[in-house]
Structure 1
Amino acid sequence: MTELTDPAVRVSGAREIAPDLLVIPNDHVDLVPNIGVVGGTEAVLVVDTGIGTANAAQVLAFAREVAKGRRLYLTTTHFHPEHAFGAQVFAGEATYLANRGQAEDLATKGPGYLEMFRGLGEVIARRLEGVRVPAPDLVYDDGYDLDLGGRTVRLRPTGRGHTQGDQVVEVPDAGVLFTGDLAETGQFAIFPWFPPHDVDVSGVGWLAVLDRLAAAGHRVVVPGHGEVGDGAVLTDVRAYLRELRDETWQRRDSAMGVDEITAEVRSLLVERHPDWAGREWIEPGVACLCTEHDA
């Protein structure tokens, strides 16, 4: 197994994409998410933590510096370790908010993901030393409007897509949307399809979520990984998922076997998108969509 690059968050690269709204970019490093720091007159919200306590401590220190005494909040876009498994560092410093689906994912699947990620290699295992699966301080159901003082941030569960507990974070006055792993740029969509342990990812549901998000007309889209962009980030991911779905279903409906379908679809998609990273996610995407039908 190839050793992964150390997934270190670099707060020195933070840049302001709107007034009092910064992104710490992932710089195309595996298992490093784009992290948001959103300010109002009274409080500051951090979006995602990075993987492990050392990364999260850097993010917290950066957020404290930005906040300059303002109250701190934390939210995470979904339960996967590089997004949420540093939240324990914020305990006592920030109020951690998440939607109910994500809170359930953390409680039921978090321990298994912690062990799985520790098995990805020594560098990841070191990052996860001492990590505990976090539990949010405040859990919401249908949505939560967080007043930061002069700026309201909307936390919205999307329904089943990349996970069952995906959440987007909208900053309406700035036209900014944080998507988590519902969107990436420069790579194939991440399908965490791990039967029998986790089969909650839904290509069909994911497409429906992207249809709704793309129709909202966000000016700036911050993907889970990759470059910050405009609304094309959403439409490009949607176009890829449609492509993956259509090529998979066309072959499935011709009674081909899953292995043959996977080989053909993978070859075709790599040929069409030769510069994209994450080719390992094509196969689980095909396997997932082979089990699904249009709603």
Structure 2
Amino acid sequence: MASAADVLGEVLADLRAESAEADRLVADLPAERWTAATPAAGWTVAHQIAHLAWTDEQALLSATDPAAFRRRVEEMAARPDAAATFIDDTAAEGARLPPAELLARWRTGRTALAEALAAVPATQPPGTRLPWFGTSMSAASMATARLMETWAHGTDVADALGAAREPTARLRHIVRIGVRARDFGYAAHGLRPPAEPFRVEVTGPGGEVWAHGPEDAAQRVTGSALDFCLLATQRVHRDDTALRAEGTEAERWLGIAQAFAGPPGTGRAAGGRPAGGRPVREGREGEA
């Protein structure tokens, strides 16, 4: 069995690769293209990168000064409009920076975060959990969450620029976090999660099958890993996927799934993206 440090190292390597792929989308982008609208309503390419930079900075604070991070969460919670506007406000603030400065900020922050997370096994007691919005998590889970968000916002940027991105085996991390967040999706909608386990069996881009849950589970979800990841990050409407659900609860979950912390996002409108394909019209943003 792989050690916690080995698992963390694997996820961090994939996080770096995912970040580099998103970086290539904007590295040589003319300044005027940073204002291109993305499928997230009201968000430009600059908003997307600014959000990634800000969230990486919050994760870095959590990994290096948990007490200071908790104080920041308390300060945010004290704002009556925090849940509704804080994400938009911080993205808009970053988007006002010159593109070169914003890109440098994102690069510096994500590099520092990867180094901080890599150091956790050597500097923190075994089982250390890092505080986050809504829940705490291990260093490996934090890295997985950052990979998920980088992929989701990178997808928005690619869509805005008309750039094609091939799905990779890194999707397996997003599938895993999407499955593990099942109960959170129910709770975020004020629903009691079902006690019975689900079987999620999706096919990766190389034909590999990634399965979670007991084989004999009555509630089942099958289909492509790409569709599942797009749905769990709210980059596609349920009706625009080819995912198959067996069981009432499995179908209900696909309508509320979210792999990110925070309140339920508004998701994307139906008809915005064919199953596993490119978007065909603008939709709405989730909170990832």
Structure 1-normalised TM-score?
A: 0.29
Write 1 or 2 for the structure with the bigger share of helix.
2
User: Quick one: higher RCO (CA 8 Å, sep 6+), 1 or 2?
Assistant: 2
